[in-house]
């Protein structure tokens, strides 16, 4: 069960950020070759990311690369570079249908074979950025066993919906649709970036909302947001104590060969045990909520 | 790989470097490295640049490096970008770039 609360965006053309970002310890680092890179620097960013992915400093952090769409002159070259460099996850932007994922999957497999990488070792995630993508979220989420998650990307989506970012009402349906699709497919769901890095209060309000909805985490654009997010996702001491008792009861029931787990006279079922495991995992990663 | 025209890659920001590549008038390979950390890391920077040029089979040209404390992986990426731009190579051979 990989913890994916924070996915930190880094502009692929920024050498200084690529050289230091691992120190912030997000759950995943996402090198961006798409919107954060100007057209004339696409080749330079691709090579910077190609080498950063092979830097031992990134060995212990999940690496994600947002490539350019495959229907642009840059998408396939991006894919060639990052798959050969051993990226953990390729993030496909502007995913409108399952066909987009199938096309990506086919190219990834070709490059894995040509580059001598294990077929299936490159995982995928799809970013949903349009009304079509939201409507097709379930078929996208189920399109490939390589998918680790789907992400809602807010800016393009609200443009497509002819609205703008506000208090979250404009994202309500899309968040619920993407989240349900991810859960039905058994993969992770990631929320949009919060672009006002100076508004901690607004950021935390949004984090609280998406956490309660059930998102695994959020895309981030500033390292300052990592600790805030991790703390908001951290369980309270009471939650950790209860989770510990649930796991102890489950282990005792298994030891004694009992099919039913009981704690303080109440029956505990598998989803509660899984939730307790996630609680302990979050506590282990960043302690209890401050 | 043949240097056909002038090309530049990188920036002069901290942790980066700027690489200027130009064709050579006398078919020689000339590499000049300027760095803020030349005393501590000059030899290592030069080694990374030479290895990268060898990998790309660059035998002639003028290569000028202005280093601002870049990591080896950044040096490799910037030198490769400048050379590929100077050689008009739109399809890099990824196996040679690792």
CATH number for position A32: 3.20.20.60
Whether A227 and A241 map to the same domain: the answer is: no
Domain-located, residue B48: yes
Domain-located, residue B39: yes
Residue of A13, A41, A51, A87 to mutate for B, most B C-beta atoms under 10 A:
A51
Residue ranges in chain A modelled with pLDDT below 50: none
Whether A165 and A277 map to the same domain: the answer is: no
Tell which B residues from 34 to 93 touch A, by Cβ distance under 8 Å: 70-71, 73-74, 76-78, 80-81, 84-85, 91-92
The range of the structural domain enclosing residue B47 comes to: 7-97
Domain-located, residue B42: yes
Domain-located, residue B64: yes
Residue A23 is classified by DSSP as G
Whether A228 and A260 map to the same domain: the answer is: no
For the cut 90, the answer to whether the pLDDT of residue B90 exceeds it is: no
CATH number for position B61: 3.30.230
Whether A173 and A247 map to the same domain: the answer is: no
Quick one: pLDDT at residue A210?
97
Place of tokens 């490539």: A67
Domain-located, residue A51: yes
Going by C-beta distance under 8 Å and a sequence separation of 6 or more, which residues neighbour residue B28? B60
The range of the structural domain enclosing residue A135 comes to: 6-232
Whether A242 and A212 map to the same domain: the answer is: no
Residue predicted with more confidence, A254 or B29: B29
- Quote the minimal CA–CA distance from A111 to chain B in Å: 11
Domain-located, residue B62: yes
Whether A182 and A145 map to the same domain: the answer is: yes
- A43/B85 Cβ within 8 A: yes
Whether A141 and A209 map to the same domain: the answer is: yes
Whether A60 and A187 map to the same domain: the answer is: yes
Number of domains in chain A: 2
Nearest in space to A64 (alpha carbons), one of A219, A233, A284: A219
Domain-located, residue A1: no
Whether A137 and A251 map to the same domain: the answer is: no
Half-sphere exposure of A76 (CA within 13 A, CB side): 11
Domain-located, residue B2: no
- A15/B16 Cβ within 8 A: yes
Q: pLDDT tens-digit profile of A163-199?
A: 999 989 999 999 999 999 999 999 999 999 999 999 9
Q: Hey, how many other C-beta atoms are within 10 angstroms of the C-beta on A121?
A: 13
- B15/A19 Cβ within 8 A: yes
Between CA A141 and CA A97 the distance in angstroms is 10
- B78/A19 Cβ within 8 A: no
Domain-located, residue B1: no
Residue of A10, A13, A16 to mutate for B, most B C-beta atoms under 10 A:
A16
Between CA A207 and CA A132 the distance in angstroms is 26
Number of domains in chain B: 1
Mean pLDDT of B37-64: 96
Going by C-beta distance under 8 Å and a sequence separation of 6 or more, which residues neighbour residue A199? none
Q: Which of A232, A250, A274 is the last residue of a domain?
A: A232
Quick one: pLDDT at residue B93?
85
Residue B1 is classified by DSSP as -
Res. B20 pLDDT band, cuts 50 70 90: very high
Whether A180 and A55 map to the same domain: the answer is: yes
């Amino acid at each position: 069960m990989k913890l994916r609360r924070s996915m930190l965006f880094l502009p692929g053309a920024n050498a200084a950020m690529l050289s230091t970002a691992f120190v912030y310890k997000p759950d995943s680092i996402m090198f961006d070759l798409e919107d954060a890179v100007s057209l004339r620097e696409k080749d330079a960013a691709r090579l910077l990311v190609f080498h950063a992915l092979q830097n031992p400093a990134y060995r212990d952090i999940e690496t994600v690369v947002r490539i350019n769409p495959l229907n642009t002159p840059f998408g396939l070259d991006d894919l060639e570079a990052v798959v050969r460099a051993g990226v953990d996850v390729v993030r496909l932007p502007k995913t409108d249908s399952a066909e987009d994922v199938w096309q990506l999957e086919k190219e990834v497999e070709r490059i894995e074979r040509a580059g001598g990488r294990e077929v299936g070792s490159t995982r995928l995630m799809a970013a949903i950025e349009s009304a079509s993508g939201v409507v097709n979220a379930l078929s996208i989420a189920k399109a490939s066993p390589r998918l680790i998650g789907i992400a809602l990307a807010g800016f393009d989506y609200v443009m497509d919906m002819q609205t703008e970012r506000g208090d979250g009402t404009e994202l309500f349906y899309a968040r619920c649709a993407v989240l349900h699709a991810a859960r039905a497919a058994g993969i992770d769901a990631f929320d949009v970036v919060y672009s006002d890095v100076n508004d901690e209060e607004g950021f935390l309000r949004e984090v609280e909302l998406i956490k309660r909805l059930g998102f695994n985490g959020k895309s981030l654009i500033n390292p300052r947001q990592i600790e805030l997010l991790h703390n908001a996702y951290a369980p309270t001491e009471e939650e950790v104590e209860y989770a510990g008792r649930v796991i102890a009861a489950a282990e005792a029931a298994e030891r004694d060969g009992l099919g039913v787990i009981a704690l303080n006279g109440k029956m505990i079922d598998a989803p509660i045990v899984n939730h307790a495991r996630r609680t302990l995992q979050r506590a282990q990663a960043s302690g209890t909520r401050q | 790989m043949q240097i056909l025209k002038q090309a530049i890659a990188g920036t002069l920001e901290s942790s980066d470097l700027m690489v200027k590549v130009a064709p050579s008038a006398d078919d020689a390979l000339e590499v000049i490295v300027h760095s803020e950390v030349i005393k501590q890391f000059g030899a290592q920077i030069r080694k990374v640049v030479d290895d990268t040029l060898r990998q790309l089979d660059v035998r002639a040209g003028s290569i000028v490096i202005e280093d601002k404390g870049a990591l080896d992986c950044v040096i490799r990426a910037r030198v490769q970008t400048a050379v590929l731009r100077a050689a008009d190579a739109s399809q890099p051979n990824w196996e040679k770039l690792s």
